[in-house]
Amino acid sequence: MFHPQGPTFWELAQQCLSSTERGYDLLAPKFDVTPFRTPDFVIEGLARCLGPPQSVDDGLDLCCGTGAAIPLLQTLCRRRVVGIDFSQGMLDVARSRLTTSVSATPVELLHANVLDMTFDREFDLAITVGSLGHILKRDEPRFVQRIHAALRPGGRFAFVTSTMPPWWSRRYLLSRAFNGAMHIRNLLVRPPFVMFYLTFLLPDVARLLESHGFKVAVHDDVYPVPFQELRVVVATRK
């Protein structure tokens, strides 16, 4: 549908009618040729806000999928990189792509739900890319609280988001239509597939982070036209 080696329309429909975890398990072998994989330029923009190579000890990639952002963390971190995802299929693909030369920072891939993380002050940096739409509004405080607990004081949580687009914009209308379709799908089919657009937007997400003990910096000059609406948020645990 998106690419000759990508999923067909029927494969995507089957994935969407599965649970989120199972849907990603099915999609995993073809995920990297879909538009759902975070493009490299987004990850490179995030990297520009996080400091020089080898300037961080331990890094965490939340919802790492097939590992799009793992090379960024391996460059930034000198001691350990952990990727966490609840789809074993996605983790298997990530594992097959790991750079494992002797000089590369070691990577652990963990099969778990990010909402159930129990890390306690183990990381200096946590990032997530392309995944915030999988966290329900009601789970956002728990998600932020788990990340706060996982970071050491002074540790950073970084991600890319935007403000709410105007209601008449194509992006707003398409996102609302998609979200409406997902709500109907989840009313009719169990288990749900959790994926919604227009989540974790500024300025609300900054308030959420601040109320959980983060100091928030927003970088609004990272991406060129036509992606200038993207913002890099770096939230530092106080």
Q: Which residues bind ligand SAM (CB under 6 A)?
A: 20, 24, 36-38, 63-65, 68-69, 85-87, 90, 113-115, 129-131, 134
Rounded to the nearest whole angstrom, what is the least distance from the CB of residue 102 to ligand SAM in the complex?
Answer: 26
CB nearest ligand SAM: which residue?
65
What's 81's DSSP letter?
A: E
Listed as own residue / partner, the contacts of 39-45 with beta carbons closer than 8 Å and 24 or more positions apart are 40/68, 41/223, 41/227, 42/129, 42/130, 42/160, 42/223, 42/227, 42/230, 43/68, 43/69, 43/72, 43/129, 44/72, 45/160, 45/222, 45/223, 45/230, 45/232
Exposure string for 135-162, b = 16+ CB within 10 A, e = fewer: beeeebeebbebbbbbbeeebbbbbbbb
CB 88 within 8 A of CB 28: no
Which CB atom, from 111 or from 215, has the smaller least distance to ligand SAM?
111
Rounded to the nearest whole angstrom, what is the least distance from the CB of residue 106 to ligand SAM in the complex?
Answer: 19
Rounded to the nearest whole angstrom, what is the least distance from the CB of residue 17 to ligand SAM in the complex?
Answer: 16
Which CB atom, from 43 or from 215, has the smaller least distance to ligand SAM?
43
Which CB atom, from 64 or from 182, has the smaller least distance to ligand SAM?
64
Which CB atom, from 203 or from 223, has the smaller least distance to ligand SAM?
223
For the chain, percent helix, then strand, then coil, each to nearest 5?
40, 20, 40
Rounded to the nearest whole angstrom, what is the least distance from the CB of residue 83 to ligand SAM in the complex?
Answer: 9
Rounded to the nearest whole angstrom, what is the least distance from the CB of residue 86 to ligand SAM in the complex?
Answer: 4
Which CB atom, from 39 or from 154, has the smaller least distance to ligand SAM?
39
80 strand-pairing partners = 58
